[in-house]
Amino acid sequence: MLDEPEEEDEYRQEFLLGDAEDLAEVLSSEATETAPAGSCNGSCVQTLEYTPIEPGHEAHKFYAPGIGSIVEISLETGVRTELISFTSGRASGESRVSSALAGLRVLARTAPSRFESTIRFSLPGAGEVKVEVFDASGRRVRELFDGPLGSGDQSLAWDRRDDGSNAVPSGIYFVRVASSALVGTAKLVVTR
């Protein structure tokens, strides 16, 4: 998305040919929306997000200034997903994180034709990182990684199995990436 989005702007969210071809169009830069983590009265950017490789999977997303995405509404199912909490600033005992790095963006994608999900994230600096998958009730189902990683773009694959190597059922899952200074979460839908 551009720094100052305008109606009818179109942009690519993510691209990996045949796997992730997410597109978006700005519908309004003056939308109003409310979620537990924040609200915007006439200052939300509202987008229509879709992918040509999964026709019918479209959503309206609302981005609040200084927070990011606070609400997503599936046009297919009507399901509303809200951001529950948002923390900015610095972790206790950590150096100050610049405002450009105050959030950790985590992308999680499940391709219908594949038997794994891809988790992508970018780290501003090297350090200890833990990547976990939780079910919709908040129960941890899998620890994907716990150890040191370098700075920059990272990618992990999840075989859609729990810690006991059992296939997880269809449903909504959350991937949590935590470093010493930043935490990011992404929603992931698994269908079998």
Q: What is the pLDDT of residue 91?
A: 37
Q: Say if pTM beats, i.e. exceeds, 0.75.
A: no
Per-residue pLDDT tens, the chain, 192 aa: give them: 666 788 888 877 766 666 667 788 999 999 999 988 888 899 999 999 988 888 888 999 998 887 888 888 989 888 888 887 766 543 333 323 222 233 455 666 665 556 788 888 888 788 899 999 988 888 899 999 999 988 888 888 889 999 999 999 988 888 888 887 677 778 888 876
Q: Is the dihedral of CA 49, 51, 120, 79 positive or negative?
A: positive
Q: Which of 68, 53, 62 is nearest to 22 (CA)?
A: 53
Buried b (16+ CB within 10 A) or exposed e, 59-78: bbbbbbeebbbbbbbeeeee
In angstroms, what CA-CA distances link 31 with 27, 42, 60, 128?
9, 5, 11, 39
Q: What is the pLDDT of residue 90?
A: 38
Domains observed in the chain: 10-82 (no CATH), 101-190 (2.60.40.4070)
Give the alpha-carbon dihedral of 153, 35, 55, 132, to 10 degrees: 40
25 beta partners: 10, 48
Q: 126 near 109, Cβ under 8 Å?
A: no
Q: What is the pLDDT of residue 92?
A: 36
Q: What is the pLDDT of residue 102?
A: 36
Q: What is the pLDDT of residues 126-176, one digit of tens each?
A: 889 999 998 888 889 999 999 998 888 888 888 999 999 999 998 888 888
Q: What is the pLDDT of residue 188?
A: 81
CA 150 to chain centre: 21
CA distance 158 to 80: 25
